[in-house]
Copies of this chain bind each other. A is one copy, B any other.
C-alpha cells in the first residue's frame, strides 16, 4: 500500500468559482483545519488573474491544459498555458509528481450538490468514495475514468491521485453558504480518509457503492451556422442525476418546439445547463448509474 506524504488543495482553477477561493483564504488563516498528522498539506490558488478579472479564465480554460505534450510545448505561452507549466513545476511534474494527491475545488451552476469526481477506479478511490458516501448524505460519486491519468487534461491529473470536488448549484461569481459548507465538509472527509489510509486505520466499508460513470456529452440544438437555437427543457433543468429515458423531452427550441432524447440506455444527466459550457454549446453530460466494487 502506498502512502500519501504530500497533499495539495487547489482552489480558483476557474476564477469565477468562488467557494474554493474563499475556503483557501480561511485555511491559510487557520492551517490547522486542513492539517492531518500523517501528511503535509499545501494550498495553491491556481488562476489569480482570472479571479482578479472575475472570469473563468483569461485566455483559455486552465483545467484543460495538462496534457503532457502541451506541458512540454514551449510555444504554448498564453496566461493559462503558462500557469499550467508553473503549476506542473510546483506540484508535479506530471507522471513523476512530488505531490501524491491533488484535490481540486470547483463549482458548477448545475444542481449537482457535492459531487466527488474520480478519474480512476482503484482501491484508494473506491474506498474514499465509500468513506465519503457514508458520512455525507447528499454526496454524489462520479467516475470520469474513460481515459488514463496521463491522457486526462485536468489540473489534478498532475498527481498520481487527482480528484475533483465539484459543488453546485452556485451562479458564477457568487458565494452561497450551503455550497461553501458542502465543499468544506467533503474536503475535510477526504483529508480524514487519507490520514486513516496512511495509518492503515480505514474503518470497515461496504462491499459496493452506488455511483455514476460518465458516458457522453450532449450539445445544445444548433442551426447549420452553429448558432444556438434552443435551450435545456424545463423538465430537465435542475434534475441532475435524475434518470432520462428514450423519448423524454430534453430541449426546447426558442420557437417553442420540443426535442426528445433518443438513446438506448437509462441516462443520468449532470452538468445540466452549466454556464461555462456555453462556450462550446454543450448542454449536459450523460452518465450511467453503476454499482462500484470497493477494492480492499
A215 in the interface (beta carbon within 8 A)? no
Give A275 Cβ to nearest chain B Cβ, in Å: 4
- Known contacts A254-B22, A254-B25, A255-B29: A231-B176 contact under CB 8 Å: yes
Give A285 Cβ to nearest chain B Cβ, in Å: 16
B231 touches A175 (CB 8 A): yes
- Known contacts A171-B171, A171-B275: A177-B26 contact under CB 8 Å: no
Segment at the B interface, from A83-91, A200-208, A232-240, A260-268: A232-240
A252 in the interface (beta carbon within 8 A)? yes
- Count of identical protomers in the assembly: 2
Q: Which of A109, A169, A171, A178 has the most CB of B within 10 A?
A: A171
A174 in the interface (beta carbon within 8 A)? yes
Alpha-carbon separation in the docked complex, A22 to B229 (Å):
9
Give A24 Cβ to nearest chain B Cβ, in Å: 11
B26 touches A174 (CB 8 A): no
A109 touches B231 (CB 8 A): no
List B contacts of A275 (CB < 8 A).
171-174
A231 touches B177 (CB 8 A): yes
Alpha-carbon separation in the docked complex, A180 to B231 (Å):
10
List B contacts of A175 (CB < 8 A).
231-232, 273
List B contacts of A231 (CB < 8 A).
22, 175-177, 180
Give A189 Cβ to nearest chain B Cβ, in Å: 18
List B contacts of A26 (CB < 8 A).
254-255
**Count of chain A residues near B, Cβ 8 A:** 30
A231 nearest CB neighbor, chain B only: B175
B22, B109, B172, B178: the one within 8 Å of A237 (CB)? B178
List B contacts of A252 (CB < 8 A).
177
Alpha-carbon separation in the docked complex, A22 to B254 (Å):
8
Contacts of A13-51 to chain B: CB distance below 8 A: 22, 25-26, 29-30
List B contacts of A173 (CB < 8 A).
172, 275, 278
Give A186 Cβ to nearest chain B Cβ, in Å: 17
A176 touches B25 (CB 8 A): no
List B contacts of A278 (CB < 8 A).
54, 173-174
| 21 A-B pairs (CB sep. < 8 Å) | A25-B254, A26-B254, A26-B255, A30-B255, A55-B55, A169-B171, A171-B171, A171-B275, A172-B172, A173-B275, A174-B275, A175-B231, A175-B232, A176-B232, A176-B234, A176-B237, A177-B231, A177-B252, A178-B234, A178-B237, A181-B234
**Given A25-B254, A176-B273, A181-B234, 7 other A-B residues pairs in contact with their CB atoms under 8 A:** A22-B231, A26-B254, A30-B255, A109-B174, A176-B232, A176-B237, A177-B233
5 closest Cβ pairs, A-B complex = A171-B171, A177-B234, A109-B171, A173-B275, A175-B231
